[in-house]
Amino acid sequence: DVVMTQSPLSLPVTLGQPASISCRSSQSLVYSDGNTYLNWFQQRPGQSPRRLIYQVSHRDSGVPDRFSGSGSGTDFTLKISRVEAEDVGVYYCMQGIHRRTFGQGTKVEIK
């Protein structure tokens, strides 16, 4: 099974400041078609998750451009350029090369 490991698990941030979440996979997420199947999800308190990023760096429709994804192989990063109050929640990475596996989640809160 592909294991996904996120860090940190808790991330207190100041409004307007940047935030960065790391996600590492136990094996390369490059699929046989050449694409890398790594998604990022946001789950706000009391809500269902929603996808922010797919295939490492492609933002979903309606996602603010302060969110960006990067990485390759086994190491990936989600960055928020300037944290806003509505960004509070838990962020998950998910691999899609073998079934699906989520990371443990990173809780983003305002200092």
Partner 1 sequence: EVQLVESGGGLVQPGGSLRLSCAASGFSLSSYEMNWVRQAPGQGLEWVSSIWSSGSPLNYAESVQGRFTISRDSAKNSLYLQMNSLRTEDTAVYYCASLSLGRAWELPDYWGLGTLVTVSS
What is the binding site for partner 1 (CB under 8 A)?
Answer: 1, 35, 37, 39, 41, 43, 48-51, 54-55, 58, 60-61, 90, 92, 94, 96, 99-105
* Run of H or E including 11: strand 10-13
Instruction: Report the nearest approach of partner 1 to the CB of residue 14 (Å).
Output: 25
Instruction: Report the nearest approach of partner 1 to the CB of residue 100 (Å).
Output: 4
Instruction: Report the nearest approach of partner 1 to the CB of residue 108 (Å).
Output: 14
Q: Which is nearer to partner 1, 42 or 74 (CB)?
A: 42
Angle at 35 between CA 48 and CA 90, to 5 degrees: 25
Identity of the residue numbered 12: P
- Rounded to whole angstroms, what are the CA distances from 61 to 50, 53, 54? 11, 9, 11
| Number of alpha carbons in the 13 Å side-chain half-sphere of residue 27 | 8
Q: Which is nearer to partner 1, 87 or 105 (CB)?
A: 105
Q: Which is nearer to partner 1, 60 or 77 (CB)?
A: 60
Instruction: Report the nearest approach of partner 1 to the CB of residue 7 (Å).
Output: 14
CA 20/CA 26 separation, integer angstroms = 20
